[in-house]
A and B are shown apart, each in its own frame.
Chain A
Amino acid sequence: MIGTVPEVTERIRPRQRLTAGVRTASAGGSATNMIISLCVAPGQKPESRGCAPFGVCRDPTEAGDVVAAGSHSVGPPWSSPTPGGRDRTLPATQISVGASPAAIFSVIVVPGRSPGRERAPFTPGGHETGRPHDHSGDHPGSASSLVTDATVKLHPSGCWSQPAAGTARWPVRAAQRRRSGSMAVVALGRGVDMVRQAADLIGCTLPVPAQVPASRPALHEIRDAYEHIEDRAPGPRP
């Protein structure tokens, strides 16, 4: 069972970078999924941009909005039956604040379902995460790991990469490209399959566009990885 669900709050200055991490210790047995949320604290309404390695980012529009949420499956090889297990720190989630008043962000850790195979969308703060292949759950109390710590690390100002003038700040572009890329690859994969099978299935005699055989191997592999993203992450097996 989850022993604690910590919440850590830090004040962050404009253009300062923040890294949020979560440390867990296995209590033995099976693994668990956890969901990390970065929230704007009540009373704050900054102009900020967030980017999470796992999950989505969005602009906060009101206090309490979740601007970045990520889920991560933690499990083997450290989920040994040995009491105490091993510690593990989840991948960091980063968020930046633009030229805005200082803001306070919270890191909230939500225990997920273990082993997390059912399709139950997590909606932090009522907002859909937008991750079509996020199979992590939102049922607290079913996990077997112990959240021991949640940390927020502030980095010196100015270390965040600045994009060229006139372009969006790159965390926003990152989220947009990640989402666009995933959707494009999956949809395009289906279109390419239709083209490749047209001759066999409907007797189409048109030549297959040269781009199809050239791009198909990469498209196929990347599409499969997105389609089975839950298998690509190290985590509990069914």
Chain B
Amino acid sequence: VPLGHVREEPHPDALTIFDQQRLLTDGVLLYGRHQLDVTKEVPRLLVGVRQFLKDAAANA
């Protein structure tokens, strides 16, 4: 079975970026053992980052 590469080396996780069935069913991005919830986790992260950058700019 051919493997995709990570940093120019064959890696068992590489091809998992193309398998996003759970994005359709659960709104979750998967890559290897990592997962990111696009519907819940990402919006929370976006709000936190946005607020941080606004505060940082205001305090500069």
Residues of A near any B CB (own CB < 8 A): 53-54, 75-78, 170, 173-174, 177-178, 180-181, 184-185, 188, 191-192, 194-195, 198, 202, 204, 206, 208-212, 215, 217-219, 221-222, 225-226, 228-229, 231-234, 237
Assuming A177-B23, A194-B53, A217-B34, is B6 touching A232 (CB within 8 A)?
yes
A225, B17: Cβ atoms under 8 Å? yes
B17, A232: Cβ atoms under 8 Å? yes
Q: Which of A184, A188, A232 has the most CB of B within 10 A?
A: A232
Residues of B near any A CB (own CB < 8 A): 2-8, 14-15, 17-18, 20, 23-24, 27, 29, 31-32, 34-36, 38, 41-42, 44-46, 48-53, 55-56, 59-60
Assuming A178-B20, A184-B42, A192-B45, is B35 touching A218 (CB within 8 A)?
yes
Q: Complex: how many Å from CA A219 to CA B6? A: 16
A221, B18: Cβ atoms under 8 Å? no
Instruction: Provide the residues of chain A in CB contact with B3, threshold 8 Å.
Output: 234
Instruction: Provide the residues of chain B in CB contact with A233, threshold 8 Å.
Output: 4, 14-15, 18
- For the residues of A in contact with B, the DSSP-based class is helix
A198, B56: Cβ atoms under 8 Å? yes
Q: Which of A194, A195, A202, A218 has the most CB of B within 10 A?
A: A218
16 contacts between A and B (CB under 8 A): A75-B2, A170-B24, A180-B38, A181-B23, A188-B49, A217-B34, A218-B31, A218-B35, A218-B36, A221-B32, A221-B34, A231-B8, A232-B6, A234-B2, A237-B5, A237-B8
Q: Which of B14, B20, B49 has the most CB of A within 10 A?
A: B49
Give the nearest-CB partner of A163 in chain B: B24
Q: Complex: how many Å from CA A202 to CA B53? A: 12
Rounded to whole Å, the gap between the CB of B33 and the closest CB of chain A is: 9
Assuming A177-B23, A225-B31, is B36 touching A195 (CB within 8 A)?
no
Give the nearest-CB partner of B35 in chain A: A218
A191, B53: Cβ atoms under 8 Å? yes
Q: Complex: how many Å from CA A209 to CA B59? A: 16
A77, B2: Cβ atoms under 8 Å? yes
Give the nearest-CB partner of A174 in chain B: B24
Rounded to whole Å, the gap between the CB of A203 and the closest CB of chain B is: 9
